Chain A
Amino acid sequence: MSAALAEHPRAAALSAAGAEHRWPYTPVRDWLASPQAAAEAEALALPLPAHYAPAPDAARGDWQVDAATAHVVRAEAQADWQERQWGWTVPANTQARVVLDTRVAAGAVLDLSLRAQIGAGARLHILRLVDVAAGGHGFETWQFEQAEDSRVDVLEYQVGAGRSHLALNSRLQGAQAEFHWQGLALLGGQARAVAQLRVEHLAPACRSRLELRNVLGGRSRRSVIGNMHVARAGQQTDSAQACHSLLLTPGARVDMRPELEIYADDVQCAHGATSGDLDETALHYLRSRGLDSNTARRLLLESFALPILGTADEGLQAPLRDDAGTRLAQMGADLSAASAARVSARGRGRDQARGRA
């Protein structure tokens, strides 16, 4: 099946697009051709509040977002190659809330293209849920056009051990448009998750914020390109991006490219990136206060990850935090087990050394 996916006409196009970005990941066709281990991780199952109604139109193609209700849009690929081409319109001065629930099963490919026009003064909130199972591939291209005073807020919650690639381009075409992205990725297994987030400040006094937090276990690899482009017309731009990663295992990797491309002088642009493992001093401190190492790890992981979810709708916060909490506890426990194994291996080594002496 994998080999067949690699022969899909879109595979070549995606490969070419990936090569163009010179990003250090295996070309798409190779990915698709190589068999992947089946999923063992828990699938994402969030209870959504009752007022989130399915939006069948949204998933069919063109959709004029109806501001009255909150919507759930599902993008699922259970098997083979699934292509979706969506065009959404958010009318001027309306507010829309959408949960975009993306599921890709092992052996399936989701190829989603989403275009959204955000009218003047409109607001669009998207909760992006992504679960790509090991052996699955998700390719998404999002293109937003934002008119003046519009605002887009995306909260991303990504789990899984599969491969995903998101290329987002938000064009702030009207003055004072705002784009906010907050992302939390909890990845394990052989996950490869690439996010290319480009925000173009094309008009005066626009604002953008990107904040991504990654907790990486197993042999997962996360790649983030944040590209802030400020055109000559983008005076009084206010832009900030931050990417923080925790690497929990020796096999985990992160690549970060927080880029600024600036052609206007009256701008405030900042970016920051950090990477590291769990802070041993903090861990020790917590344990010296009587917490066992599992609990201490979980606490530290939660304090790193959960604040990102704070911008979710009230009804969604609790299920999101519960799900993330469970996954983080599992990642922390795996870590404790691994470090215990390392310690006992060292202990054995010592014993053997002593035995020889």
Chain B
Amino acid sequence: MSNNVPAELATVLGRREYAPGFTTDIESETLPPGLDESVIRAISARKKEPEWLLEWRLEAFARWQAMTPPAWSKVQYPPIDYQAISYYSAPRSSDGPKSLDEVDPKLLETYEKLGIPVHERAALAGVAVDMVFDSVSVATTFKQKLADAGVIFSSISEAVQEHPELVRAYLGSVVPSGDNYYAALNSAVFTDGSFVFVPKGVTCPMELSTYFRINERNTGQFERTLIVCEDGASVSYLEGCTAPMRDENQLHAAVVELVALEDASIKYSTVQNWYPGDENGKGGIYNFVTKRGDCRGARSHISWTQVETGSAITWKYPSCILRGDDSIGEFYSVALSHHRQQADTGTKMIHLGRNTRSTIIAKGISAGHGDQTYRGLVRVGPRAEGARNYTQCDSLLIGSDCGAHTLPVVECAHPSARLEHEATTSRIGEDQLHYLRSRGLGEEEAVSMIVNGFCREVFRELPMEFAVEAQALLSVSLEGAVG
């Protein structure tokens, strides 16, 4: 009996088209490549930053210079020449976010082409968007409506100007500037990103969303996102990303910090579709991201949901520090690596408070020569009485040249903790495929249906419109995978 999925599929299925792969021809102000203190001073000056922030950046830069890139992950790539990257690129017309009417129509066109609701009246009801183009935020929708509710949603550059005390209080409080190599780099050179502040008792009236776009050649994107929910506040935040198809690799080293105080709740969803490179592994984004949430208050709740289909390399571990008693951390992830993509992703759940609970559902799909690693840590500290964790990692392999690895670490120092971990590895069964085809589904559709079924537990955590996008993205990303 043949053990491989039918070979003729390769010819049946077309090549993957990366729809967001166009470039926008727009005049940009770009710093020349290179990184030293003067670049950091230039960025800071360009953004008219207060002295304390410049100091913070310079300190991070000093730390970064003393650090070496992490070598423990499974991903492989040639050394990055940090002097060949430009650390600041902004559309010339953009002098910081302003009202939508003033934004360069070419920019808005770009986002519309990507399907992002930029016009408030035409927007999907209930989603406010911050658009980050290369290094700067170009527009934020629904600011007024949010302000009426007391919610601050702006670019982080703007927040530094308007709410410096808030930014200063929380920036780097979850991911310290010297946390790791890429976080240190980000702290030194971050250019923009989103800032969300939901005050005490407020439920954010709409979904917030940031859409990241890398356009310019040879630039890196170093965005910094900071979300703070005060006591009893809650917010749901969505993040999307795309980049043009370019032959060279581009670096994306972001930092995301979430702070949830007492009874606060933050739901952070990502659909990551950076350009993955072509089928031979040429080009694509290096996505080296540090995301961490701090459940600082009692009964707080942070939930990460990610669908990672893009990037040449993904290195990312959205984590939760469960500090507050009875706090809850969740991580739902679908990661796909096709062609030569590599993904090393997972989460850390650090249980410090009593009766803290965490759930990890990670689904990895490897196809072609893709390589996929789930790397996780569940740590129960000596005071985390009654901690609970449930972890489930499932891998789906498509084709015989891919790899799937599961590297979980469980450390338990409290007897009352209950920890459960399950992992499975499977492939698309010939009989499953045949069953669906015998009901009239084409091969491609059958594969897509099985893969979507495999991911269902994660997709149902996504906001509705994102779930639909994620499913479609997964199907597109898998085209040509079966053969």
Contacts and interface: CB of A to CB of B under 8 A. Distances in A.
Q: Establish whether A and B are touching in the complex (CB under 8 Å).
A: yes
Interface of A: 22, 24, 232, 235-236, 245, 247-250, 252-277
Interface string B395-424: 101111011111111111111111111111
Secondary structure call for the B interface: strand
B173 interface: no
A271 B421 contact: yes
Contacts of A24: 411
A256 B410 CA distance: 5
Contact of B411 (A250, A252, A253): A253
A274 B395 contact: no
12 contacts: A232-B400, A250-B382, A250-B414, A252-B415, A256-B410, A260-B423, A261-B403, A265-B400, A269-B423, A269-B425, A272-B420, A273-B410
A272 B395 contact: no
Given A24-B411, A270-B422, 9 more contacts: A245-B412, A259-B405, A260-B423, A262-B425, A263-B403, A264-B397, A265-B402, A266-B3, A271-B422
A284 to B, nearest CB: 15
Contact of A257 (B403, B404, B410, B414): B410
Contact of B423 (A258, A261, A265, A275): A258
A339 to B, nearest CB: 11
B427 interface: yes
Interface of B: 3, 72, 382, 395, 397-400, 402-427
Contact of A262 (B403, B411, B412): B403
A259 B424 CA distance: 11
B409 A267 contact: no
Contacts of B420: 272-274
Contact of A259 (B397, B400, B406): B406
Contact of B421 (A236, A252, A258): A258
Contacts of B423: 258, 260, 269-272
A-B complex: 10 closest residue pairs judged by Cβ atoms: A247-B415, A265-B397, A273-B421, A260-B406, A277-B415, A269-B425, A256-B410, A276-B418, A275-B419, A275-B412
B409 A270 contact: no
Contacts of A266: 3, 400, 427
A249 B419 contact: no
Nearest to B413: A253
B407 A257 contact: yes
B342 to A, nearest CB: 14
B411 A255 contact: yes
Nearest to A248: B415
B373 to A, nearest CB: 9
Contact of B406 (A249, A252, A263, A271): A271
Q: Among B403, B404, B408, B415, which residue has the most Cβ atoms of chain A within 10 A?
A: B415
A201 B422 CA distance: 21
A253 B427 contact: no
Given A255-B412, A257-B407, A273 B400 contact: no
Contacts of A261: 403, 405, 407
Contacts of B408: 256-259, 273
A260 B416 contact: no
Nearest to A225: B409
A235 B406 contact: no
Contacts of A269: 423-425
A270 B405 contact: no
A212 to B, nearest CB: 13
A272 B415 contact: no
Given A257-B409, A265-B397, A277 B425 contact: no
A271 B409 CA distance: 13
A256 B397 CA distance: 25
B410 A267 contact: no
A242 to B, nearest CB: 10
